[in-house]
Amino acid sequence: MSRPAFRAWFTLATFFSAGIFPTMLYAVTIGQWGSNLIWGSIYGVGWCLATNFWSALGPQWVMAIGVLYGLLMVPILYWFSGWLWAALDGSGRKWAFGLLLLSLSIMLPGDVMLRLWNYVHVPDLQTHFATGY
């Protein structure tokens, strides 16, 4: 795999797997929204921080900060993927790509995410959208 392909997978696949791919999958199969447990949480941390620290500004600001954080994660992950590529040798890159593919496959439907949220707060982007935060 080339460096540009590795970086594209690391940025675009994680971005779309945070909510778009799982929602399309579960909307067609069971009529629910969906999310990726790992990448949805990475992209959703900004929304949780905005809710905890800037909720006095109002829900529109919390939403704007949460969405802006998610968009800012794309260039950050692009940079991180380039660093990871340079830091690893050929077998390390294969392991990193395999772990990336594994993390992309951890998709859950909305009702499971909401039940999980009753026990532990997962900073998931799609859960924040669905619950109106």
Q: What is the pLDDT of residues 73-97, one digit of tens each?
A: 999 999 999 999 999 999 999 999 9
Stretch 66-72: mean pLDDT = 90
Closest CA to 11 of 94, 61, 85, 65: 85
Half-sphere exposure of 82 (CA within 13 A, CB side): 6
pLDDT value at 126 more than 90: no
The predicted structure's pLDDT at residue 85: 96
Question: What is the pTM (predicted TM-score) of this model?
Answer: 0.85
Residue 133 confidence (pLDDT) above 60: no
The per-residue pLDDT for 132 is: 67
pLDDT band at 48 (very low <50, low <70, confident <90, very high): confident
| Among 109, 110, 80, CA closest to 96 | 80
Cα angle 78-64-53, degrees, rounded to a multiple of 5: 95
Q: CA 33 → CA 9, 12, 27, 47, 101, distances in Å?
A: 23, 20, 6, 18, 21
